[in-house]
Amino acid sequence: MSGARGAPPPPAACSPDHQSLAVACTPALLAYLYRSRHTYKAALSSLSFSYRDGAKAPLPPLKWKGIFEAIEEHVRCPQKMLGSVVVGDADCLRLNVYTPAAPHFAPLPVMVYIHGGCFFEGAGTAFLYGGDYFVEHGVVFVGINYRLNVEGFLCLGIEEAPGNAGLKDQVAALRWVRDNIRAFGGDPGSVTLFGESAGAVSSSYLISSPAARGLFHRVILQSGSSLASWGMQQDPIKTASNIAKEFGYSTVDPRELYDILSRRSPEELILAVRNPQHKNYITAETLLAPCIEKPIPGVEAAVTGHPLDVIASGNYTKVPMIIGFNDNEGIYFVAKDYGTRVEEVNPFELLSPDLEFPGEDSRNSTAEMLQNYYFSSKKEDMIMSVVELYSDLYFKFPAVIEAELYLRTSPLPIYLYVFQYSGYINLPKQVSRFGGRRGASHADELFYMFKPASFPLPQRYLETSMIRRMVTLWTNFAKYGDPTPQRSQLLPVRWRAGRAGRAASPSALVIDRALSTAPMWDERVVSLWNHTYAKYRRRSFGHYGLVRDAAALS
């Protein structure tokens, strides 16, 4: 493909009789889009679906005659934006492919990004996730959409709504990449799957999913784990029932719930899911997420067991991985729940929904333990104590457990990191009004990796060195399976893969103004939460009973 400025290249010809681009699995449209001297883009659009089809896996491919043009890049699935404004298109299952414009003779490594957004918002487009920096480092970048909210994650255990339609969209996108990315200069045998927040949770599930076997060869998990309480519906029928109550109905019958919800518009369903009465932004009882699917004849499941059981058994896709988190993940969510100041915290409000207590005594003693550990000696800065608890409970501890289980069960390298850089474009921290605080909030690293089309930043704020460092680490991993194959002025520290062993925390790369290494986790924090989960981790998830009895880090 030529990279010279001028007219765009002609659209690719696609027909059901022509064995070329995307004919076998493209749900609808495929064409080249001219972008700039750096990048070409292509977009894949799916067949539209109604709500009744929307809770199932993606529909079969659409066949056509002649040429179709895909020219709308900024398409997102239905979601709430501001207040009660719902945006997005039902025909949203699209992906964007970014390729280097310079000629290349060998197929390039491919990086497929799954966006975050708590499974109710976001899109895999250049609105936030422009892939410019990645393709400049010699990879093919793919950003994907997947269904959100009720359409993506209603889980009733019936054929009409088996669950995890959003994850199945991701699997369909990966299958498209496998079958078609060579036409864009990509290597289908060298696919790195990566995601942040809900995108990391999704990637974590796909590691354990039989449906995704063979579709990727490396994984990067940024600030998300399938073992996090917010990454799984603890009781899918209860979740659906809570949404139905927003419309005045009270039932726990799956078919009745389906009939109630299928009569509602996407706008009504989205507004019901994000009811403002819920205080805890990350664990509200109407939030939808992946679930453990009930076996249904003829229906391919994305999640067949609890990921704790699956990973511990070793029955997952073993690939090299990068796993990490930001040091102050909780800032973004604490700001939504409490603002920037808090005088007093009720520890009972902070008990995770994936903890189940046999009685009030155990519940009270656990709340008291949290009070003593996180709040007893930090009255002068209570809000940061809440940030610390949110960071540990919802992000760090789940990632630690997942990383340790991989280290125990896989012979392949696992690279661990902590991102704590604070610069001009730590935008989530600044928007949360914690700009003067040290470290990095949830999602702060993203603006050192992506070039958002929605708000171009002045050149002096681009933090060029950190952007080059982050993108080089990630693309080195995609190219070589090693983020630091050799030392350089940009990467003066060799990032060693983690090694299993409980004598001490594995070493992690600390990404800050200067690179360094340090233990991945605080042993005291891990011990506290490991002890708590060993005793009180929820055992029942709808039809599924958790098999694993002991603490993951025993």
List, by residue number, the catalytic residues: 197, 329
CA atoms within 13 A on the CB side of 459: 0
**Nearest-5° angle of CA 452, CA 223, CA 469?**
55
CA 487/CA 484 separation, integer angstroms: 7
Residue 108, beta-bridge partner list: 186
Q: Which helix (H) or strand (E) holds 141?
A: strand 140-144
Neighbours of 309 (CB within 10 A): 17
126 and 73 Cβ atoms separated by less than 8 Å: yes
CA 323/CA 508 separation, integer angstroms: 9
φ, ψ dihedrals at 536, nearest 5°: -125, 10
* Closest listed residue to residue 526, CA positions, set 397, 378, 399: 397
- Residues constituting the chain: 554
Written in H, E and C, the secondary structure of 342-375 is: CCCCCHHHHCCCCECCCCHHHHHHHHHHHHHHHH
CA atoms within 13 A on the CB side of 174: 30
The encoded tokens of residue 135 equal 């393709």
What is the distance of C-alpha 508 from the center of its chain? 21
Own/partner pairs for 356-364, CB < 8 Å, 24+ apart? 356/536, 356/537, 356/538, 356/539, 356/540, 357/536, 362/535, 362/536
Residues 6+ apart with CB under 8 A from 247: 260, 264, 268, 272
Alpha-carbon distances, residue 295 vs 90, 163, 190 (angstroms): 28, 11, 32
CA 380/CA 357 separation, integer angstroms: 31
> Tell me, what DSSP letter sits at residue 161?
B
492 and 515 Cβ atoms separated by less than 8 Å: yes
Helices (H), 113-153: 126-129, 132-135, 149-153
CA 172/CA 202 separation, integer angstroms: 13
160 and 56 Cβ atoms separated by less than 8 Å: yes
The encoded tokens of residue 229 equal 């309480």
Helices 331-338 and 382-391: crossing angle, nearest 10°?
A: 130
Amino acid at site 169: D
102 and 148 Cβ atoms separated by less than 8 Å: no
